[in-house]
Amino acid sequence: MARAIIDKPFPLTPRISADKACAEATSFLLDHVGTQLVAAQPYLMVSAVRATWIVPVQLAYIHSGSLGGVGVVAVDEETGHVIAWTPIEQMKSASRKLRNAHEPELSERFQAFMATHSREPSA
Protein backbone atom coordinates (compact mmCIF):
# COMPACT_ATOMS: atom_id res chain seq x y z
CA MET A 1 0.00 0.00 0.00
CA ALA A 2 1.33 3.45 -0.93
CA ARG A 3 2.05 5.84 1.93
CA ALA A 4 1.63 9.58 1.79
CA ILE A 5 4.80 11.65 2.05
CA ILE A 6 4.24 14.15 4.83
CA ASP A 7 7.77 15.28 5.68
CA LYS A 8 7.28 18.39 3.46
CA PRO A 9 3.59 19.23 3.87
CA PHE A 10 1.76 22.06 2.22
CA PRO A 11 2.23 25.34 4.16
CA LEU A 12 -0.33 25.59 6.96
CA THR A 13 -0.83 29.36 6.78
CA PRO A 14 -4.17 29.72 5.00
CA ARG A 15 -4.59 32.60 2.57
CA ILE A 16 -8.26 33.02 3.41
CA SER A 17 -9.65 32.77 6.91
CA ALA A 18 -12.07 30.22 8.30
CA ASP A 19 -14.63 33.05 8.55
CA LYS A 20 -14.25 33.85 4.84
CA ALA A 21 -14.63 30.15 3.96
CA CYS A 22 -17.77 29.98 6.10
CA ALA A 23 -19.17 33.10 4.39
CA GLU A 24 -18.52 31.61 0.93
CA ALA A 25 -20.18 28.34 1.90
CA THR A 26 -23.16 30.25 3.33
CA SER A 27 -23.55 32.22 0.11
CA PHE A 28 -23.42 28.99 -1.90
CA LEU A 29 -26.06 27.36 0.31
CA LEU A 30 -28.37 30.38 0.08
CA ASP A 31 -28.05 30.41 -3.72
CA HIS A 32 -28.57 26.67 -4.22
CA VAL A 33 -30.53 25.25 -1.30
CA GLY A 34 -32.32 27.74 0.93
CA THR A 35 -32.21 29.10 4.44
CA GLN A 36 -32.43 26.04 6.69
CA LEU A 37 -29.00 24.66 5.77
CA VAL A 38 -26.21 26.55 7.49
CA ALA A 39 -22.42 26.49 7.44
CA ALA A 40 -20.74 25.25 10.63
CA GLN A 41 -17.15 25.72 11.85
CA PRO A 42 -14.75 25.00 8.95
CA TYR A 43 -11.60 22.94 9.26
CA LEU A 44 -8.55 23.03 7.01
CA MET A 45 -7.64 19.95 4.98
CA VAL A 46 -4.17 19.94 3.45
CA SER A 47 -2.63 17.84 0.72
CA ALA A 48 0.80 17.77 -0.85
CA VAL A 49 -0.43 20.25 -3.47
CA ARG A 50 -2.90 22.65 -1.85
CA ALA A 51 -5.29 23.19 1.02
CA THR A 52 -9.06 23.31 1.21
CA TRP A 53 -11.47 24.51 3.86
CA ILE A 54 -14.04 21.82 4.61
CA VAL A 55 -17.22 23.48 5.83
CA PRO A 56 -19.76 21.17 7.48
CA VAL A 57 -23.39 21.83 6.51
CA GLN A 58 -26.08 21.48 9.15
CA LEU A 59 -29.84 21.60 9.20
CA ALA A 60 -30.85 24.31 11.67
CA TYR A 61 -33.90 26.27 12.72
CA ILE A 62 -34.02 29.52 14.66
CA HIS A 63 -36.38 27.96 17.20
CA SER A 64 -34.42 24.76 17.83
CA GLY A 65 -30.82 25.22 16.67
CA SER A 66 -28.89 22.59 14.77
CA LEU A 67 -30.46 19.19 14.22
CA GLY A 68 -27.34 17.63 12.68
CA GLY A 69 -25.02 17.45 9.70
CA VAL A 70 -26.24 16.86 6.16
CA GLY A 71 -23.08 17.35 4.07
CA VAL A 72 -20.05 19.54 3.41
CA VAL A 73 -18.92 22.37 1.16
CA ALA A 74 -15.25 22.63 0.14
CA VAL A 75 -13.72 26.09 -0.31
CA ASP A 76 -10.32 26.57 -1.96
CA GLU A 77 -8.09 28.24 0.63
CA GLU A 78 -6.20 30.20 -2.00
CA THR A 79 -9.02 31.60 -4.13
CA GLY A 80 -11.91 31.49 -1.67
CA HIS A 81 -14.15 29.83 -4.27
CA VAL A 82 -16.45 26.89 -3.59
CA ILE A 83 -14.86 23.96 -5.42
CA ALA A 84 -16.91 20.95 -4.27
CA TRP A 85 -19.98 20.02 -2.24
CA THR A 86 -22.17 17.16 -1.19
CA PRO A 87 -24.76 16.76 -3.96
CA ILE A 88 -27.70 19.12 -3.33
CA GLU A 89 -30.31 16.34 -3.56
CA GLN A 90 -28.35 14.28 -1.04
CA MET A 91 -28.30 17.24 1.40
CA LYS A 92 -32.04 17.79 0.89
CA SER A 93 -32.77 14.10 1.46
CA ALA A 94 -30.65 14.04 4.65
CA SER A 95 -32.46 17.20 5.81
CA ARG A 96 -35.87 15.56 5.33
CA LYS A 97 -34.76 12.51 7.31
CA LEU A 98 -33.47 14.67 10.18
CA ARG A 99 -36.62 16.80 10.20
CA ASN A 100 -38.86 13.70 10.24
CA ALA A 101 -36.79 12.14 13.02
CA HIS A 102 -37.29 15.22 15.22
CA GLU A 103 -41.06 15.59 14.79
CA PRO A 104 -43.24 16.39 16.79
CA GLU A 105 -40.57 18.06 18.96
CA LEU A 106 -39.89 20.59 16.16
CA SER A 107 -43.56 21.57 15.98
CA GLU A 108 -43.73 22.03 19.75
CA ARG A 109 -40.60 24.19 19.80
CA PHE A 110 -41.88 26.24 16.87
CA GLN A 111 -45.20 26.88 18.64
CA ALA A 112 -43.37 27.90 21.83
CA PHE A 113 -41.04 30.17 19.85
CA MET A 114 -43.94 31.84 18.05
CA ALA A 115 -45.83 32.32 21.31
CA THR A 116 -42.89 34.16 22.89
CA HIS A 117 -41.89 36.20 19.84
CA SER A 118 -45.25 37.21 18.44
CA ARG A 119 -46.53 39.08 21.47
CA GLU A 120 -47.22 42.71 20.81
CA PRO A 121 -45.38 45.11 23.12
CA SER A 122 -47.58 46.58 25.79
CA ALA A 123 -48.27 50.31 25.72
Fold of the CATH domain 18-117:
Nuclear Transport Factor 2; Chain: A, (3.10.450)
Cα–Cα–Cα angle for 33, 36, 39, rounded to 5 degrees: 80
- The confidence score (pLDDT) of residue 24 equals 97
Q: Which residues contact 50 (CB under 8 A, 6 or more apart)?
A: 10, 76, 77, 78
| Average pLDDT, 10 consecutive residues per value, the chain (123 residues) | 56 80 96 90 90 95 80 95 96 92 72 66 55
H/E stretch holding 38 reads strand 37-39
Neighbours of 101 (CB within 10 A): 11
Give the start-to-end residue ranges of the domains of the chain.
18-117
Residue 108 DSSP one-character state: H
The model's pLDDT over 2-35, given as tens digits with 9 standing for 90+, comes to 555 555 555 556 689 999 999 999 999 999 988 8
Q: Which residues contact 69 (CB under 8 A, 6 or more apart)?
A: 40, 56, 57, 58, 94
The single-letter code of the amino acid at 112 is: A
